[in-house]
Structure 1
Amino acid sequence: MTHASPPAPHTAHDHNLDQGHDHDADADGQTEILDLDAEVLAEHIASITAWLPVKASPRHIVDLGCGTGAGTLALLKRFPEAEVTAVDTSAGHLHRLRDKAGAAGLADRVRTVQADLDGAWPELGRPELVWASASMHHMADPDRTLRQVHDTLAPGGLFAVVELAGFPRFLPEDAPADRPGLEERCHAALDRHHAEHMPHRGADWGPKLTAAGFTVEGERVITVNLGPPHTEAVGRYALSSLTRLRGGLTQELTTEDLAALDRLLDTESPHSILRRDDLTVRTERTVWAARR
């Protein structure tokens, strides 16, 4: 993207575009997307935690790039005897995670650590399971991070790397009717941005894990295709996601495409995305399970 700085690292989601908005408002928008992602895709996240080839129920788990806690909370439910150390650069995300853990009655099983994982590695103990969802591709030197995780894990411990195939799709391929292919053009512009600023996005983490000393024990692709009909949360997820996408692509799209997006994002308009009954959530996530 010609005008945007690289997304901030370790925030557990690809939607962290620099849009030139007020920083606090932008952070609030990202928090909303992370929360909606957790709500809409809760079943898929749970299926990943259920698939993990753990040898015994872990007592200590580390969530690297935890965001607002989708993985942390899913892991706490999957492993009821475990405690989770949640690591992120964002104090706001960690605060939101603590609120959610408290509301779920899980606050005593969560420790939060604010840290930039490209800098000095924080003290994380000897976890039996490390989870990194949509965070590894943000690392400046992911090979260094993989080696650090290997050295941090308890012997025989498991490292789960979850990566997104890309920004979720929400609109039918022929919508809106007057701008067919709009969403795909947005994705193409976003992919150009990622190729420049996040070269490790979309990487095959299997060989990288092996090079860092891990034994890859499993790889699985989770395909998401929800609706229609869709829930109210899907509408809000699409609105929030495409709002951030639109702000980050101002210099990349044509005037006509921007106008079409604006019609979709105008919540007072009869063309608002919140009024559509044909929305879906389409994406893929790949998970690698690697043993130390």
Structure 2
Amino acid sequence: MTHASSAAAHHHGAHPVHQHGADHDADGQAEILDLDAEVLSEHIASITAWLPLKADPRHLVDLGCGTGAGTFALLRRFPRAEVTAVDSSASHLRRLLEKATTAGLADRVHTVQADLDADWPDLGTPDLVWASASMHHMADPGRTLRRVHDMLAPGGLFAVVELAGFPRFLPEDAPEDRPGLEERAHAALDRHHAEQMPHRGADWGSELTAAGFDVEAERTITVNMGPPHTDAVGRYALNSLRRLRGGVAQALDAEDLTALDGLLDTDSPHSILRRDDLTVCTERTVWAARRT
């Protein structure tokens, strides 16, 4: 199981379209996770600052850490804490450790490679567990929630962050030859996700309650970053739409696919990197649940 976040998720990190349990296309996915963390760093920091903690945690676990968006936000928020970063991707964990070393934080980061749908690793007794854009990828989220509950220290907090789909970048009337292209591509991706990821969009508040948690707070962060945009936003849009194309190519008609390829062609005058009207629009919801 790998991250997100945010592309992002996600992803998602989606947010990025994640390929969980596999390292193929790891460099492309790692790049989009890094861009997600860079572009949305203030919003991720606002979530960590909002968490209803009774004391600063010292032992943190980042489940499905990806390349470390949540890990580094937590390290910045809690300067005396150590983070155990868990992911199934060896390459993502290597990248995370490289960044930690560069930032002088390697002594505060421990990595664990594990598939959380299989054998559950020994992660100690953390004060805070963070799971961003990873819970909906679990084969049995209820089992994972119960394991987190049993692992947490009494009074410990579990922060579940989920994304409201892929981020949007283009105006509604773009591109000029195929207005509404991005929304049609998103609709196709949503249909694909409904088949492949049945837990996407779940009511995590009730799921957490069923697992024995006391849900103390819920918050939705709305991101709407308008132009002018940074170079990072342009690269974030380019990489996000590349991954979007991979998920919807068979569902789009020929005209839409041609227009999308024009946006993705960095040598084309229609390249998304040449647009000055890009935005970053997305939502992230966080649930803060306590083990009582």
Taking structure 2 as the reference length, the TM-score comes to 0.94
Note the alpha carbon deviations across 1:151-174, whole angstroms, 9 max, x for none: 000000000000000100000011
Instruction: Report what 1:139 is aligned to.
Output: 138
Instruction: Tell me the alpha carbon deviations over residues 52-79 of structure 1, each in whole angstroms, 9 at most, x when there is no partner.
Output: 0111110100000000000000000000
Secondary structure, counterpart of 1:112 in structure 2? strand
User: Does the C-alpha gap of structure 1 residues 17 and 150 become closer, same or farther in structure 2, counting only changes over 3 Å?
Assistant: closer
Deviation at 1:266, TM superposition (A): 0.6
Does 1:125 find its partner at 2:117? no
- Matched with 1:10 is 2
Q: What's the counterpart of residue 27 of structure 2?
A: 28
Contact 2:3 2:132 (8 Å CA) reproduced: no
Q: How many Å apart are 1:17 and its aligned residue? A: 5.5
Q: 2:111 — aligned with what?
A: 112
Deviation at 1:248, TM superposition (A): 2.2
Distance between the aligned counterparts of 2:18 and 2:263, measured in 1?
19
- State yes or no: 1:103 paired with 2:95: no
Write the distance in 2 (CA, Å) between the matches of 1:62 and 1:68. Answer: 14
Give me the whole-angstrom Cα distance separating, in 1, the residues matched to 2:235 and 2:216. Answer: 37
Distance 1:135 1:248 in 2: 18
Letter of the 2:46 counterpart: S
1:140-179 maps to which residues of 2 (within 5 A)? 140-179=139-178
Q: Are the equivalent residues in 2 in contact too, given 1:17–1:248 (CA < 8 A)?
A: no
| Equivalent residue letter for 1:67 | G
Q: Does 1:272 align with 2:264?
A: no
Q: How far apart, in 2, do the equivalents of 1:249 and 1:17 lie?
A: 14
What amino acid does structure 1 have at the position aligned with 2:228?
P
Corresponding residue for residue 222 of structure 1: 221
Give the letter for the 1:10 counterpart: T
TM-superposed CA distance for 1:93, in Å, is 0.5
Query: d(CA) in 2 for partners of 1:28 and 1:262?
Result: 21
Q: Aligned to 1:150, what secondary structure does the other structure show?
A: helix
Give the RMSD, CA atoms, in angstroms: 1.0
User: CA separation in 2, counterparts of 1:229 and 1:84?
Assistant: 35
Preserved contact between residue 131 and residue 160 of structure 1 (Cα < 8 Å): yes
Residues of 1 paired with 2:18 and 2:34: CA distance?
17
Q: Do the aligned residues in 2 keep the contact of 1:10 with 1:117 (CA within 8 Å)?
A: no
Q: Secondary structure at the match of 1:97?
A: helix
Per-residue CA distance 1:192-212 (angstroms, 9 max, x = gap): 111001111111100110010
Tell me which residue corresponds to 1:281. 280
Judge conservation of contact 2:2–2:87 (CA < 8 Å) in 1. Answer: yes
Q: Deviations over 1:21-64 (max 9, x none)?
A: xx75x211100000000000000000000000111110100000
Task: Report deviation, 1:244.
Answer: 1.3
SS in 2 for 1:125: coil
The residue type paired with residue 38 of structure 2 is E
Letter in 1 for 2:219: R
Mapped to 1, the partners of 2:200 and 2:62 lie a distance apart of: 19
1:63 counterpart residue number: 62
Match of 1:253 in 2: 252
1:174-207 residue CA offsets vs partner (Å, 9 max, x unmatched): 1001101100011001101110011111111001
Output the CA distance in 2 between the equivalents of 1:291 and 1:176.
46
Determine if contact 2:18/2:29 at 8 Å carries over to the other structure.
no
- Are the equivalent residues in 1 in contact too, given 2:61–2:86 (CA < 8 A)? yes
SS in 2 for 1:287: strand
Is 1:86–1:111's contact at 8 Å kept on the other side of the alignment?
yes
How many equivalent pairs are there? 279
Partner of 2:242 in structure 1? 243
The whole-number CA distance in structure 2 between the counterparts of 1:270 and 1:136 is 40
Structure 1 gap ranges (5+): 1-8
SS in 1 for 2:282: strand
The structure 1 segments of at least 4 consecutive aligned residues displaced by more than 2 Å after TM superposition are: 9-18
In 1, the alpha carbon distance for the partners of 2:268 and 2:97 equals 37
Cα distance in 1 for residues equivalent to 2:154 and 2:54 = 12
**What is the rounded CA distance, in whole Å, between the counterparts of 1:251 and 1:274 in structure 2?**
25
Distance 1:42 1:17, change over 3 A: closer
Gaps spanning 5+ residues in structure 2: where? 5-10
Match of 1:3 in 2: none
Deviation at 1:80, TM superposition (A): 0.5
